Chains A and B, each alone.
Chain A
Amino acid sequence: EPEVTQTPSHQVTQMGQEVILRCVPISNHLYFYWYRQILGQKVEFLVSFYNNEISEKSEIFDDQFSVERPDGSNFTLKIRSTKLEDSAMYFCASSVTGPNTGELFFGEGSRLTVL
């Protein structure tokens, strides 16, 4: 069964360092998303991406964050200069249609620890 894959599963970084989280969405999906979940808390929307551009982003997704689909298969989230409060589980998701009509398929997440 096709699945969304994310790498790395866990990354530890120093404050101020750049981090790139990678995702391979399901191949025929057109919509891509990043969410994050701080330990024990709610799942927060970061950004949605469709047709090679950001379709929506949250207040969390400030200038330190960027997304890219560099080669038609990978979907990356870059955090330019990490802060302690960026420590969280980051989930990538994809869907065939937009969220107002269909389900999202999530990866297993990348745990980011900022020291």
Chain B
Amino acid sequence: SQQGEEDPQALSIQEGENATMNCSYKTSINNLQWYRQNSGRGLVHLILIRSNEREKHSGRLRVTLDTSKKSSSLLITASRAADTASYFCATDEVQGGSEKLVFGKGTKLTVNP
């Protein structure tokens, strides 16, 4: 099954605006993580939210998790041009003792100065 599907696929906003990206997944999870990838670079961990948490903050980032809907959102407030990147959600899979993180297709965020 496909874990971690983000939407929108692409998002273009002006500097100073907020950016919201969503992620849906299919199986039960222990945690959900968000990563950022600048073009042509490696992935950088942003935030991890556990299945028993509903909301988490880190600086300008706010992540919510709704396990009943199997969805998460990443909010970046007061966006900056430097936030331009692709953002991926990633989930582990509880069933079968899985030892992997599965990434979604990502949301490509462009913040225009």
What residues make up the interface of A, taking CB atoms closer than 8 Å to B? 4, 31, 33, 35, 41-45, 48, 50, 55-56, 58, 89, 91, 93, 98-109
Q: Tell me the bound Cα distance from A55 to B99 in angstroms.
A: 7
Give the most central of A33, A35, A55, A103: most B CB within 10 Å.
A103
Give the top 7 A-B pairs by smallest Cβ distance, nearest first: A106-B42, A103-B45, A43-B103, A100-B30, A100-B92, A55-B99, A99-B101
User: Which residues on A sit within 8 Å (CB–CB) of B37?
Assistant: 43
Bound CA–CA A43/B35 (angstroms): 11
- Residue in B41, B94, B101 whose CB lies within 8 Å of A108: B41
Q: Are B94 and A91 within 8 A (Cβ)? A: no
Select one of A45, A89, A101 contacting B100, CB under 8 A: A45
**Which of A33, A45, A100, A104 contacts B94, CB < 8 Å?**
A100
Using a CB–CB distance below 8 Å, which chain B residues touch chain A? 30-31, 33, 35, 37, 40-45, 48, 88, 92, 94, 98-106
Contact assessment for B48 and A45 in the assembled complex, using a CB-CB cutoff below 8 Å = no
Q: How far is the CB of B9 from chain A (nearest CB, A)?
A: 11
- A108 and B42 in contact (CB under 8 A), knowing A100-B92, A100-B94, A101-B30? yes
Using Cβ atoms and an 8 Å threshold, which residues of chain A touch B48? 102-103
User: Which chain B residue has the least Cβ–Cβ distance from A44?
Assistant: B103
- CA A105 to CA B106, docked complex, whole Å: 18
Contacts A33-B100, A100-B30 supplied; 20 other A-B pairs, CB < 8 Å: A31-B99, A41-B105, A43-B37, A48-B99, A56-B99, A56-B100, A99-B92, A99-B100, A99-B101, A100-B99, A103-B33, A103-B45, A103-B48, A104-B33, A104-B43, A104-B101, A107-B42, A108-B42, A109-B41, A109-B42
